Structure 1
């Protein structure tokens, strides 16, 4: 009997072990991505790409300014070169008229010297230098120095343009890389999960009555009419926008020119407190500023959100709020 009881106990223990083993979950060969982790990472990548895109816009504005400055400097340099050549001709004529006792070869060296510094140096070695009109030579020196300053400034602008052009390329590469990484993460999700992720934190319900008129009304009406359009980095219409592209186009309908940059738009008008917001005001997000939308009243904004959402209506404080500006 004791032997039978031992065998029974052993059998029971074996069955218990088998049952317990059957209850242990078997991990899949490759775990599915956690939807919340993917959502957080995609949102972060979208924002990083938007930051790079807005830096791209800022650099592009700076580049346009530098190119205009460079063109102005080159034109000024040409004018200065012409002034210098005019004085050079006057000095050459004076040399021919006033030199006494100098050899013909010395006079020829002065007249035909191509380099402005060599021209001045040759004059300085001539025995009859003091006989020349001193004021004319002084004018020549001043104009030569002015030309050299302009040449240096032009060269500096060219170097700045080259550096900024490389920065533009770097920012564009970062935008492309962040967007590609986000798309890769989304591709790993099932279609239903992807749809659920990209439709969160936004609303497609449009307000029926926005209390805005005049220029602000025109801007708000245009922006709301774009709800559902795509978000594309660098786009400013007709059917796709980035954040500052949408606000720029919206206020253009009201005859107000805004730069294609959220940080530059932050300086486009007087700042207003959150408690004084009116429909049409531009609202800005993140530090440094990298996103902008248009306030439409009742604590809501319309904005080009990100590639997963497009142009949509969202809450005023759905992102880290920085401040607001009233254009026009």
Structure 2
């Protein structure tokens, strides 16, 4: 039955024209992808790539912090070991001097002493000293053990961060490949369409001064620069790299991470936005721009458009902070 159905289907596609005697076979047609659909796919892939890139930036910050903690732990451990060794040597010398050449029992010494009460006081003092030494040794041993445990924990943390960093790098590389493939298709489709003339973007005049003015001026000066994941200038940026470098011109240090930058200033409500404020997008936060007034931001958007000026609410808004 299946064979007969396929034969009937083929025959149904034959159009026999009696006048010309020709046989016309209907050829299959394939619709080209819609440009808007491909653009949407590209934008989605860019967003996923940026999310991976910002997670990569977070992992890099965590790695730096873990390395500082490990350095401090090792320094503390070295100092504690030196103290412990000093106490151990003192205690060893004390034990040797106490028993070397002293065959008389304590009772005998009391009986022979000219002042038994003074001798007993001396023995009590030495005993207290020995107890103190023992307590100090025990304390140092505990502290050394704790420091060693902390060092081992820090090393495990470094291993986890290194593994996470590799995973994120692999993930981003895969997304980059997919985005490049989709963008290549988009470029071919746009090449077939009528050419669109694009005039040079006119930068807005932002009336702002002081530290915020320095940040805004720098960011606007990068409009047209490329977007590169993990970059922070001088001619290519990712979103948090641009904001970090912009506020660095004002003497304000920001971490290279949009999520971390959201905790690097005073929260600002939407109706109180001022030029220079950092504006964050998506949940969890994975994009950041600088507010420049008149309902606009300057930001490193994506690899297609690079650094550009956009409406402040052109993406899902998450919040804003004022650095400094």
Q: TM-score range by the shorter chain?
A: 0.7 to 0.9
Compared CA separation, residues 302 and 203, structure 1 to 2 (3 A):
farther
2:29 to 27, 30, 53: 27
TM-score (norm 2): 0.80
For 2:305, what is the secondary structure of its paired residue?
coil
Compared CA separation, residues 14 and 86, structure 1 to 2 (3 A):
closer
List aligned pairs for 1:98-247, cutoff 5 A: 98-99=98-99, 133-191=130-188, 193=190, 205-247=201-243
Q: CA RMSD in A?
A: 2.9
Compared CA separation, residues 317 and 84, structure 1 to 2 (3 A):
same
Compared CA separation, residues 140 and 269, structure 1 to 2 (3 A):
same
1:270 to 266, 270, 287: 266
For 1:97, what is the secondary structure of its paired residue?
helix
CA distance, structure 2, for counterparts of residue 205 and residue 315 of structure 1: 14
The residue aligned with 1:254 is 250
- Given that 2:279 and 2:321 are in contact with CA atoms closer than 8 Å, whether structure 1 keeps it comes out as yes
CA distance, structure 2, for counterparts of residue 149 and residue 289 of structure 1: 37
Structure 2: gaps (5+ residues): 1-14, 103-126
2:290 to 278, 290, 294: 294
- Given that 1:284 and 1:292 are in contact with CA atoms closer than 8 Å, whether structure 2 keeps it comes out as yes
- What is the CA distance between 1:15 and its match in structure 2? 6.0
The residue aligned with 1:124 is none
CA distance, structure 2, for counterparts of residue 14 and residue 86 of structure 1: 107
CA distance, structure 2, for counterparts of residue 58 and residue 298 of structure 1: 31
TM-score (norm 1): 0.79
CA distance, structure 2, for counterparts of residue 180 and residue 311 of structure 1: 21
The residue aligned with 1:112 is none
- Given that 2:35 and 2:189 are in contact with CA atoms closer than 8 Å, whether structure 1 keeps it comes out as no
Question: 4+ runs of 1 displaced by more than 4 Å?
Answer: 13-16, 21-25
CA distance, structure 1, for counterparts of residue 186 and residue 49 of structure 2: 21
CA distance, structure 1, for counterparts of residue 192 and residue 137 of structure 2: 74
Structure 1: gaps (5+ residues): 1-12, 103-129
CA distance, structure 1, for counterparts of residue 89 and residue 291 of structure 2: 65
- What is the CA distance between 1:131 and its match in structure 2? 10
2:279 to 276, 283, 294: 283
